[in-house]
Amino acid sequence: MVSTEQATDLLSREALLLDQKMWEDWLHLYAEDAVYWAPAMVGDEDWTDDPDNDVSLIYMDRAGLEARIFRIEGGDSYATDPLPHTSHMVTNVLVHGEIDGLANVTAAWSVRSYQRVRGAITRGGLYEYGVRETADGLRIARKKIFIHDDRIVGPIDIYNI
């Protein structure tokens, strides 16, 4: 079973790689069958729960993450040019057991982004992960990002949530 120490190390590594814009190393943390999802808020307390039929802020598989990185590295991400400087803070990492080979991990997060054009934006929320042990180490099989903002200001992308 995945320990809290192992999960904390993985999530801290992910945050650092995003802040340092080490896209390929970040992508390597994700399993080939990974799902990356940021559901939209519904009302004051709920989020969408069906990414195939409800609105999501982001919903991608591993191929979608690869395509996103390709656009970022190739300069084809005009909405985020220049890329912001980010500082991810991940805390309160907890492992909630394992189901079907996936360790269920949660963490609180906060990201401060600074972009010359838009200025500073701070967001926060809750991460839910499904983490799998592989021959290559721990890999993220699913990541669900709950953004605790009642109104989204500025762009949402893989590096600023």
Distance from C-alpha of 89 to C-alpha of 12, rounded to nearest angstrom: 8
> What is the model's pLDDT at position 78?
65
How many other C-beta atoms can be found within 10 angstroms of the C-beta atom of residue 109?
A: 21
Q: What is the residue-level pLDDT of the chain in tens, covering all 161 positions?
A: 899 999 999 999 999 999 999 999 999 999 999 999 999 998 888 899 999 999 999 999 999 999 999 988 887 666 667 888 999 999 999 999 999 999 999 999 999 999 887 789 999 999 999 999 999 999 999 999 999 987 788 888 999 99
Q: Which two tokens stand for residue 44?
A: 């004051």
> What is the model's pLDDT at position 158?
94
> What is the model's pLDDT at position 35?
98
Sequential DSSP letters for 101-148: TEEEEEEEEEEEEEETTTEEEEEEEEEEEEEEEETTEEEEEEEEEEE-
Q: Which two tokens stand for residue 117?
A: 């054009």
Spacing of C-alpha 41 from chain mean position: 16
pTM score = 0.93
Q: Tell me the CATH number of domain 4-147, given options 3.40.50.620, 3.10.450.50, 3.90.550.10, 3.40.50.150.
A: 3.10.450.50
Give the burial string for 125-146 (b: 16+ CB within 10 Å, else e): bebebbbbeeeeebbbbbbbbb
Distance from C-alpha of 72 to C-alpha of 94, rounded to nearest angstrom: 31
Residue pair 156/33 in contact (Cβ under 8 Å)? The answer is no
> What is the model's pLDDT at position 153?
81
Residue pair 108/128 in contact (Cβ under 8 Å)? The answer is no
